[in-house]
């Protein structure tokens, strides 16, 4: 058994008479959830004397590391999707209350639909229908898969395959809009959108190059700020009408040679990598309406002139719930302060909502975007007290009160329920 302890606290009122865990504030109570883990080897197998084959034999060696738990994506309040269970390796939808599993889609039907597209052979269709990863829409009723270097959408309920792209070049960072009608992607370091039903493709930027990246992270922003594996640098508005994106210019960043030792014949790769004191990339935050396309006024650039370009890190980007503002956090290079700003999506004019400062360091990759509440206020995670805690703010940045406090760390915010309780 493993024990996951999830704490909860009220947003608007202090709880009274709640017995908290020792060291926690009285306004916090705990919910303990138990998960049973199936251990593959039995007790007898664990006591077996190991042989060299148990370690090195390709077919018989023991998987001492075990199998990592699959990622779970919630479709709604009662169902989630994963690639685990009775049909291991296939995508299944699971009813959380009963545990009943149903296939998310029929891979054989998807394969047949893909094979009907001109220029697609049976082997390619079979591979694409069982490929990983897959970009799903929010309700998981459609997916985008890759065929050669093109994208194809498959609509589950209509058993219909629709080709989205047919231009040279790989499409990366693929995602559906929140309403599922549009797909965004990056090709040649330019940002594009494509209508799912018509296949009409629209370029939102045109200056992408090896050194200029629109909608995609470079090494510095992925590795040091947003987290390793986070490579997408664009964000959909909640109403699906626009994209906010980063334009990262690596021109001033020195190149650093790295030897790739994995292939039999080693390769030398060049990475834009600033050593201490070297210039960082120059980054701009843009907003583009998906119906605008290219043109003189296609992109609205957020006004960041209050910050020096050489001393500016845009460490988080998101949207206000009404889709009228882009909310973004800016830090200095030494990361001793952070501003949370809101820019008008139409004009790019910004306002600073709150300011954080530290004598030492504010970790950019630990910054979480605001969690917006129904009344327009928001929750914000901060280390300002020396401990990581949660704070409640009005929409204009006025502090209402701390939600948690004490000599302990609030590690992860899991969500807020309709009753006004925060789970963390």
Q: Which domains can be identified in the chain, with CATH numbers? A: 172-369 (2.140.10.30)
Q: What is the mean pLDDT of the chain?
A: 87
Q: Distance between CA 144 and CA 127 in Å, rounded?
A: 13
Distances (CA, A) of 262 to 35, 255, 267: 38, 21, 9
Backbone angles phi, psi at 222, to 5 degrees: -75, -50
Both tokens of residue 182? 């549009």
Signed CA dihedral, 5, 8, 14, 15: sign only: negative
pLDDT in tens, 127-157: 988 887 789 999 999 999 998 889 999 999 9
Q: Please compute the mean of the pLDDT values over residues 253-270 and round it to a whole number.
A: 93
Q: Distance between CA 162 and CA 180 in Å, rounded?
A: 14
The predicted structure's pLDDT at residue 144: 96
pLDDT greater at residue 41 or residue 260: 260
pLDDT in tens, 144-195: 999 888 999 999 999 999 999 998 889 999 999 999 999 999 999 999 999 9
- Weakest-pLDDT range from 44-58, 319-333, 401-415: 44-58
pLDDT at 398 over 80: yes
Percent of the chain with pLDDT over 90: 66
Local confidence band at 96 (pLDDT 50, 70, 90 cut-offs):
very high
Q: Please compute the mean of the pLDDT values over residues 331-335 and round it to a whole number.
A: 94
pLDDT greater at residue 42 or residue 266: 266
SS3 378: strand
Backbone angles phi, psi at 68, to 5 degrees: -65, 145
pLDDT in tens, 346-386: 999 999 999 999 998 998 778 889 999 999 999 999 999 99
Q: Distance between CA 377 and CA 355 in Å, rounded?
A: 17
Local confidence band at 321 (pLDDT 50, 70, 90 cut-offs):
very high
Local confidence band at 15 (pLDDT 50, 70, 90 cut-offs):
very low
Which residue, among 412, 390, 411, has the nearest Cα to 9 in the 3D structure? 390
pLDDT greater at residue 254 or residue 39: 254
């Amino acid at each position: 058994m493993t024990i996951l302890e999830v704490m909860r606290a009220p947003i608007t009122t202090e709880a009274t008479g709640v017995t908290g865990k020792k060291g926690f504030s009285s306004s916090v109570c705990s919910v303990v959830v138990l998960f049973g883990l199936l251990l593959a080897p039995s007790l007898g197998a664990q006591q077996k004397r190991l042989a060299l084959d148990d370690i090195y034999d390709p077919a018989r060696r023991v998987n001492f590391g075990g199998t990592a738990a699959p990622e779970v994506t919630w479709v709604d309040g009662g169902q989630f999707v994963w690639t685990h269970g009775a049909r291991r390796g296939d995508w299944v939808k699971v009813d959380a209350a009963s545990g009943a599993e149903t296939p998310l889609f029929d891979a054989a039907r998807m394969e047949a639909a893909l094979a009907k597209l001109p220029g697609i052979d049976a082997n390619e269709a079979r591979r694409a229908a069982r490929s990983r990863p897959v970009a799903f829409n929010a309700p998981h009723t459609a997916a985008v898969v890759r065929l050669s270097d093109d994208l194809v959408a498959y609509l589950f309920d209509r058993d219909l395959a629709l080709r989205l792209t047919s231009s040279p070049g790989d499409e990366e960072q693929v995602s559906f809009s929140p309403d599922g009608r549009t797909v965004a992607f990056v090709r040649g370091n330019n940002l594009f959108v494509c209508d799912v039903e018509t296949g009409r493709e629209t370029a939102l930027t045109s200056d992408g190059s090896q050194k200029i990246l629109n909608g995609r992270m470079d090494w510095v922003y992925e590795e040091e700020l947003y987290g390793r594996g986070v490579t997408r640098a664009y964000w959909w508005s909640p109403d699906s009408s626009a994209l906010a994106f980063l334009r990262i210019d690596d021109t001033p960043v020195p190149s650093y040679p790295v030897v790739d030792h994995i292939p039999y014949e080693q390769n030398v790769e060049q990475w834009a990598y600033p050593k201490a004191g070297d210039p960082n990339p120059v980054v701009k935050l843009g907003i583009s309406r998906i119906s605008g396309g290219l043109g003189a006024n296609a992109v609205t650039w957020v006004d960041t002139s209050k910050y020096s370009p050489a001393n500016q890190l845009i460490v988080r980007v998101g949207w206000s719930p009404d889709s009228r503002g882009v909310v973004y956090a800016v830090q200095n290079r030494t990361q001793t302060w952070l501003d949370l700003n809101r820019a008008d999506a139409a004009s790019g004019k910004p306002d600073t909502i709150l300011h954080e400062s530290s004598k030492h360091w504010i970790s950019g990759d630990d910054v979480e975007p605001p969690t917006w509440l129904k009344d327009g206020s928001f929750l914000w995670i901060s280390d300002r007290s020396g401990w990581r805690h949660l704070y409640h703010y009005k929409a204009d940045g006025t502090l209402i009160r701390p939600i948690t406090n004490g000599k302990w760390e609030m590690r992860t915010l899991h969500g807020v329920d309709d009753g006004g309780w925060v789970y963390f």
